[in-house]
Amino acid sequence: MRADAARNRAKVLDAARELFAEKGFDVPLDEIAGRAGVGPGTVYRHFPTKQALFQAVTEARVATMIASANEPSDDPGGALVAFLGRMAEEAAAKRDLSDAITVPSELRDSLHTALGGLLRRAQEVGAVRTDVTTRDLVALMKGMLQSMHEGANPAVLLEIVVSGLQSSRKP
């Protein structure tokens, strides 16, 4: 790879990181190219599609989260709560995480699977009501994360969801 190509690739990644974090996946690709100081064609030379660029930007961070979710714990209930807290914290600062849950990709699927595992283990020790499905949890998270970009209080929302999950099933 030529030196200027590597330089431009890095500039594109930097700009994409900033803008995806700031405005989410919906930011126009031309805007990313503009901030990187290159043309749109250059972006497509390095990444075949917009989603590929998004994935390249979020991959490392999300993979770390997934790994931490998958490592065993002697307190599965606490592990789930901690994980949700970490996601809330992250989503409050950067807008791309909430899109990483939504935009179709292998990464998204792994994240859902990891959440499912956390949920199942928490349910097995009785820390979370058993009628909640992975799908329900993902939906809740999605709503919660998106809400954080509209002025809602992350901590309060998180507490509500967590204590809701822990509540016993209605008779």
Partner DNA sequence: TGCCAACCGGGGCGTGCGTTCCGTATCGTC
Partner DNA sequence: GACGATACGGAACGCACGCCCCGGTTGGCA
Helical H runs in 24-101?
29-36, 40-46, 50-70, 76-93, 96-100
Least gap, CB of 49 to a copy of itself (angstroms): 22
Q: Enter the DSSP assignment of 149.
A: G
Q: Identify the CA nearest to 18 among candidates 95, 131, 127, 85.
A: 95
Per DSSP, 71 falls in state S
131 part of the interface to DNA, by CB under 7 A: no
- Closest distance of CB 66 from a copy of itself, Å: 21
Q: In whole angstroms, what is the distance from residue 87 CA to residue 138 CA?
A: 12
Residue 110 makes contact with DNA by CB under 7 A = no
Residue 30 in the binding site for DNA (CB under 7 A): yes
Selected binder of DNA within 16, 38, 100, 128 (CB under 7 A): 38
Give the footprint of a copy of itself on this chain (CB under 8 A): 129, 131-133, 135-136, 138-140, 142-144, 146-148, 150-153, 156-157, 159-165, 167, 169-170
